[in-house]
Structure 1
Amino acid sequence: MVQVANTLDTYKSNSRRETFLDILSRLTPAETPLYSNTGDVTIDGTEPVWQLDALAAPDINNAKVEGDIYTFDPITGTNRVKNFTQIFSKRFIISNTQEAVKKAGKTTDSSYEKIKKGQEIKVDIEVAMLSNQASVAGSSSVARRMAGLRAWLATNDLMGTGGASGGYNTSTGAVDAATNGTKRAFTKALLDQGIAAGYIAGGNVDMLMVSPYLKQVFSTFMSDASVAQTRFAASSSKQVTIVGAADAYLSDYGIIEVVPNRQMARATAAGTDLSRNAFFIDKDKIEKAWLRKIAEDEADPNADGKPVVLNAELTMIVRNEAAMAVVADLNGTSTAS
């Protein structure tokens, strides 16, 4: 095909208008499974304290003679633990001129950014809740930090070679971070060990939270010789569904929902690698404790623009870490990392 000579087309013209679709697409995942699956409580201070207690170990020798003279056992006091609130903040400023001009994809920049930044705070809270972050009391020059779940879990943490537990430090009143060990593959044997550890300690694990890659690894456990195969009756009138994944696990101690968490795949930088952990969670044992819910704060711009500040302050209450477990030091993003 040949164009007529000297035809003015769109490639030569400088007067054509751009076609700007009134669409703005954002792909970054905003799901926060742990944040969304835990309850909320309100607190009135930056350092909430709660108590832990446990029954004595079973005593097979609990037998007395007739007419025995009473003696009394000592009472073991409860253990006090605490976490510190952490302030999460997102801030931006938009010039008044930018707010006034016509825009594509959104009515105002400020309203769009408020929604976006609010979602970002939730993601930041999610990552902090799952992290190996130690608690920090803070000062006038140091920000307070709440301890993350990996740091809390010290009773039932199955670690790779060289790994060491963190947990609540009664001497300092802070939660110490765990020491990472050598990474290894996630196996069904480790899965069953983690579930059993939480159950024996008194918990009722009902959710396994893993990175997307570890969710794929979990699905391969369907081919294990000790796992009952999943089968469906095929109908000639309907398309057949090929089952290549598993979303729940009927363990020896109950059904466990298996939840992939995209944020665990996004937070993989050195020192903040969430993908290396598989968390066995009893949802009744974790709560978000809010001092200040996510809200907009007033800010003086001292400029020709509109500033917006979103703040939130909360901590995570781990009612009893021994009710849960973690299989740590796993290859959480691939077979080798």
Structure 2
Amino acid sequence: MAAISNTHTTDLSKRNRETLDDMISIITADETPLLTLIGSETVEGIKPEWNLDALANPDTANAFAQGDQYSYNAITPTTRVGNYTQILRKSFIVAKTQEAVKKAGAKSDFNREKLKKGQEIRIDLEVIAASNQASVAPSGATAGKLGGLRAWVASNDDMGATGASGGYNTGTGLVTAATNGTQRAFTKALMDNNIQAVYQAGGNPTTLMVSPYNKRVFSTFMSDANVVANRGKVEGKEQARIYAAADEYLSDFGLITVMPNRQWARAGAAAARNAFLLEPGKLAMGVLRPIAEDTDVVPNADAKAGVLITEQTLIVKNEAALGVIADLFGLTAST
């Protein structure tokens, strides 16, 4: 029924206050599982370097006669490798009037934005560190770039047809990007083969990091004829539970934790197409300048400007201890 004539309703009133909620909802998606897993260490220059070494292959002819005179094998020198640092930054500016007015949620737009930009830089690093980005030496107006993990891993990279390895070039001192191959489906056979290759090369991987889509594909490996069925016992008044996911894989060469990385999916197909076998101790983010606000920014305006900046690189202590199952469909069954 209609309201009684001349009822003073809220749409007629000019005195009602706004009821804007003080809570600002944001989907942060700020998890950085790769950066968290590998940790960081301090570096002191724009191209930190380190040495690689390896034991000789087994010598089945290692036998000598009694009284044999010594001879001396040549020493194989170590291989010196390195990676350039990359400067990342986020900037923002807020009118001083906006800072002064009363508002919902955070009392300072400047501080709120600074927190967001710090999270965004870490997410950028998360994706760049795993990428197929070649390293670039800084020169004048040319920005330095770190070599990403996909570019580094060349010893144990299982690629699709027409794919080609990248890796560190001792002649140029740069990391070369890999050539992408034909995309294919993620399978248990590909995973098992890569785990074995890394193990034989001397690595002891503990984590397989994949896109969210390929985490779901991994869970379907439970239906493989060679996998023990996963069943749960229901007791008393417990409700039955459907087991449709798996998070660990007991391989022939050790237990592997399978970890999804949502940022790779958010970054797109180029980031989601690779699955990495990781030994955390063989990787780190080298930090020349940690994420910090540049307090020297002085805008010529009635506004407060902010810049967050950092300079970091990826330290790959020995790429032969790592593996990548490359050129996968990483977002859907066909992309």
Q: TM bucket by the smaller chain?
A: over 0.9
Partner residue of 2:306? Answer: 308
Per-residue CA deviation, residues 236-270 of structure 1 (Å, 9 max, x unaligned), is 3122222110011111111111100000101116x
Distance (Å, rounded) in 1 between the aligned partners of 2:10 and 2:190: 63
Per-residue CA deviations over 1:15-60 (Å, capped at 9, x if unaligned) read 5443211110111411000011112211111110100001111111
User: Hey, what does 1:134 align to over in structure 2?
Assistant: 134
State the distance in 1 between where 2:139 and 2:225 align. Answer: 55
Secondary structure of 1:233 counterpart: coil
**Amino acid aligned to 1:264:** W
The match for 2:185 is 185
1:175-220 deviations in whole A, cap 9, x for unaligned?
0001111110000000101111111100010000000000000000
Please give the secondary structure, in 2, of the residue aligned with 1:288. strand
The letter for the 2-side match of 1:20 is L
Shift of 1:14: 5.9
Residue ranges of structure 1 left out of the alignment (5+ in a row):
none
For residues 157 and 173 of structure 1, the distance between their equivalents in structure 2, rounded to whole angstroms, comes to 21
User: Would you say how many aligned residue pairs link Structure 1 and Structure 2?
Assistant: 334
Q: Secondary structure at the match of 1:37?
A: helix
Structure 1 position 54 matched with structure 2 position 54 = yes
State the alpha-carbon separation in 1 of the partners of residues 40 and 29 from structure 2.
23
Give the letter aligned to residue 301 of structure 2.
A
Pair 1:123 & 2:120 matched: no
Distance 1:195 1:11 in 2: 68
Question: Aligned residue for 1:260?
Answer: 260
SS at match of 1:293: strand
Looking at structure 1, the residues matched to 7 and 180 of structure 2 have their Cα atoms a distance apart, in angstroms, of: 69
Percentage identity across paired residues of the two chains: 55
| Aligned position for 1:290 | 287
Tell me how far apart the structure 1 counterparts of residues 126 and 61 of structure 2 sit (CA, whole Å).
47
Distance 2:291 2:111 in 1: 15
SS in 2 for 1:259: strand
CA distance in 1, matches of 2:152, 2:182: 20
Instruction: Find the residue that maps to 2:272 and give its secondary structure.
Output: coil
Q: Give 3-state SS (helix, strand or coil) of 1:309's partner.
A: strand
Q: Partner of 2:327 in structure 1? A: 329
CA displacement 1:290-333 (0-9 Å, x = unmatched): 11111111211121111111111111110000101000000111
RMSD, aligned CA: 1.4
The residue aligned with 1:194 is 194
How far off its partner does 1:110 sit? Answer: 1.0
After superposing the two structures, state which structure 1 stretch, 11-20 or 216-225, moved more: 11-20
- 2:65 maps to which residue? 65
**Pairing 1:1-337 to 2, within 5 Å after superposition:** 1-5=1-5, 7-11=7-11, 16-268=16-268, 273-298=270-295, 299-337=297-335
